[in-house]
Amino acid sequence: MNGVNAKDVAKLAGVSQSTVSRVFFGGVSVSEKTRKKVLAAAEELGYSPNEFARSLITNKTKIIGLVMKGVNNPFYPQVLKEFTTHFKRLGYSIIFVHTNNDEIQKEDIEMLLNYNVAGVIITDALLSLKVSEDFKKNKIPLVLFNRKAKEQDFFSVGTNNLEASRQIADYLIKKGCSDMVYISGERNTSTSIEREKGFSEVLKKHQLTYKRFESDYSYEGGYQTAKEIIQKGDISSAFFVANDIMALGVLDALRERSIEVPLRTKVVGFDNIDMAGWPNYNLTTWEQPITKLVEETVKYVISEIKEYTGMTGNIEVQGRLIERKTT
């Protein structure tokens, strides 16, 4: 596709054009000597008839697998967009895998292995240790994005959730809040656990308690959870909600019952999705620096593609509090 064609390769290799075709696409057999000549010429000219043939020569593809669950949360389409843009600049394409389940399905893993992807990024889905072994065996770098695993066998990139939630707790205490609510996403997600941990640490230090409600990182979940809390008639002075899309549901539930924000109660979210800044919500939140998170992930993947080390570990990017009108 770069202007070089089989004819040019044939000329340089001193063979016929049909020989070039046979080397790349099979057909009548070609001697090993001829094959090597053709491949050398093709490499010199930068000829690659298509990515599949190329991958047979180099044993590498230019495809990154991106696994995502929560496309209804605007945070993730934004993440998808950033990954696509960053990888495109480096000549890589994205195979998009959507999973309805919390855990990635076996068939998705097999598909990614079948395509011999150069790397895999997993956002809001779970991956068993056993499955990750398949990627390791094939020296395919893998990153957990915005998630951490309990095991130390992964590389993950995320926001410093502990630090963020400590600062949110400090901020709310300074605002005079003493009885608070924490609304988590799914209990088994590292983000929900860490965000609660930092929050509770600081509250404990100030000898404050809080109530904990489990929800599911969706608008509907936040809305329903807040409705139940309101029905009990026991409105705390602040809600720390583990992501923005749930926080918007909380705000709508409070508005429905004319509970004034920030006068009667305050609400803080997490992510800083576009909608948090809409005048109708004006949500105070913790900004996850998506571009920086994506850059760190891409840097790791590319470096592991160049030379696979199987390095595990954890990169944590600092975010910042965005103060708006709900506090």
CA atoms in the 13 A half-sphere facing the CB of 27 = 10
By rule CB under 8 A, what count of residues binds its own copies? 59
Name the one range near its own copies by CB under 8 A: 11-19, 100-108, 122-130, 228-236.
100-108
CB-count exposure of residue 311 (10 Å: 0-12, 13-18, 19+): exposed
The answer to whether 52 contacts its own copies (rule: CB under 8 A) is yes
Q: Which residues contact 170 (CB under 8 A, 6 or more apart)?
A: 202
67 vs 26: CA distance, rounded Å:
34
**Complex with its own copies: residue 278 or 308, whichever CB lies closer:** 278
Q: Are 83 and 121 contacting, i.e. CB atoms less than 8 angstroms apart?
A: yes
Name the one range near its own copies by CB under 8 A: 94-102, 158-166, 178-186, 262-270.
94-102
Name the phi and psi angles at 79, rounded to 5: -65, -45
Query: DSSP 3-state helix, strand, coil percentages of the chain (rounded to 5)?
Result: 45, 15, 35
Out of 4, 45, 95, 230, the residue judged to bind its own copies by CB under 8 A = 95
**Complex with its own copies: residue 185 or 222, whichever CB lies closer:** 222
142 vs 132: CA distance, rounded Å:
8
Out of 16, 43, 56, 303, the residue judged to bind its own copies by CB under 8 A = 56
**Complex with its own copies: residue 163 or 252, whichever CB lies closer:** 252
Shortest distance, position 62 Cβ to its own copies, whole Å: 9
Footprint (CB under 8 A) of its own copies, residues 229-248 = 248
The answer to whether 190 contacts its own copies (rule: CB under 8 A) is no
Torsion sign over Cα 240, 243, 247, 250: negative
Per CB under 8 A, residues contacting its own copies are 1, 25-32, 35, 48, 50-53, 55-57, 61, 63, 66, 71-72, 74, 76-78, 80-81, 84-85, 88, 93-98, 100, 107-108, 110-111, 113-116, 219, 223, 248, 251-252, 255-256, 274-275, 278-280
